[in-house]
A and B are shown apart, each in its own frame.
Chain A
Amino acid sequence: MNALLEAQGLSLRFGRVRALDDVAIAIWPGEVLAVVGESGSGKSTLLRVLSGQQRPEAGIIRFDGTDIHEAGEAALRRLSRTDWGFVHQNPRDGLRMAISAGGNIGERLMSNGARHYGDIRAQAKDWLARVEIDPARIDELPRNFSGGMQQRLQIARTLVTRPRLVFMDEPTGGLDVSVQAKLLDMLRALARDLSLAIIIVTHDIAAARLLAHRIVVMRHGQVVEEGLTDRVLDDPQHPYTQLLVSSVLAA
Chain B
Amino acid sequence: MEAGYNFAYLDEATKRMIRRAILKAVAIPGHQIPFGAREMPLPYGWGTGGIQVTASIIGPADTLKVIDQGADDTTNAISIRRFFARVADVATTERTEDASIIQTRHRIPEAPLREDQILVYQVPMPEPLFRLEPRIAETKRMHALADYGLMHTKLYEDIARLGRIGTAYNYPVMVNERYLMSPSPIPAFDNPKMDRMPALQLFGAGREKRIYAVPPYTPVRSLDFEDHPFRAIRAPHACTLCNSTASYLDEVVTDDQGGRVYVCSDTDFCRTEQERAA
A interface with B by C-beta (< 8 Å): 73-74, 77-78, 81, 96, 99-100, 102-103, 106-112, 115-118, 120-121, 138-139
Residue contact A111 to B147, C-beta cutoff 8 Å: yes
Residue contact B144 to A107, C-beta cutoff 8 Å: no
Name the CB-closest residue of B to A73.
B145
Residue contact A112 to B226, C-beta cutoff 8 Å: no
Name the CB-closest residue of B to A139.
B160
Total interface residues on B, using CB and 8 Å? Answer: 19
If the complex has contacts A100-B157, A108-B149, A139-B160, are A116 and B226 also in contact, measured as CB distance less than 8 A?
yes
Residue contact B160 to A103, C-beta cutoff 8 Å: yes
Residue contact A111 to B159, C-beta cutoff 8 Å: no
Residue contact A103 to B225, C-beta cutoff 8 Å: no
Interface string of B132-149 (1 = CB under 8 A from A): 000000000100110111
- Of A102, A108, A111, A121, which is in contact with the most chain B CB atoms at under 10 Å from its CB? A111
> Which of B147, B152, B156, B224 has a CB less than 8 Å from the CB of A81?
B147
If the complex has contacts A99-B157, A139-B160, are A115 and B145 also in contact, measured as CB distance less than 8 A?
no
Residue contact B160 to A115, C-beta cutoff 8 Å: no
Residue contact A117 to B228, C-beta cutoff 8 Å: yes
If the complex has contacts A73-B145, A74-B145, A117-B159, are A103 and B228 also in contact, measured as CB distance less than 8 A?
no
Q: Which chain B residues lie closer than 8 Å to A120 at the CB level?
A: 156, 225
- Of B141, B149, B150, B224, which is in contact with the most chain A CB atoms at under 10 Å from its CB? B149
How many whole Å from A60's CB to the nearest CB in chain B? Answer: 23
> Which of A81, A103, A116, A118 has a CB less than 8 Å from the CB of B157?
A103
If the complex has contacts A74-B144, A77-B147, A111-B147, are A118 and B153 also in contact, measured as CB distance less than 8 A?
no
> Can you list 8 residue pairs at the A/B interface with Cβ under 8 Å?
A73-B141, A74-B144, A78-B145, A103-B153, A110-B153, A111-B149, A115-B225, A117-B159
Give complex CA distance A100, B149 in Å: 15
B227 at the interface (CB under 8 A from A): yes
If the complex has contacts A99-B157, A103-B160, are A117 and B147 also in contact, measured as CB distance less than 8 A?
no
Name the CB-closest residue of B to A72.
B145
* New contact pairs (20) apart from A73-B144, A81-B147, A102-B156, CB-CB < 8 Å: A73-B141, A74-B145, A77-B145, A96-B153, A100-B160, A103-B156, A107-B153, A108-B149, A110-B149, A110-B153, A110-B156, A111-B147, A115-B152, A115-B226, A116-B225, A116-B226, A117-B156, A117-B228, A121-B160, A139-B160
Q: Which chain B residues lie closer than 8 Å to A139 at the CB level?
A: 160-161
Q: Which chain A residues lie closer than 8 Å to B150 at the CB level?
A: 107, 111
Q: Which chain B residues lie closer than 8 Å to A138 at the CB level?
A: 160
How many whole Å from A219's CB to the nearest CB in chain B? Answer: 35
Name the CB-closest residue of B to A118.
B227
Q: Which chain A residues lie closer than 8 Å to B159 at the CB level?
A: 117
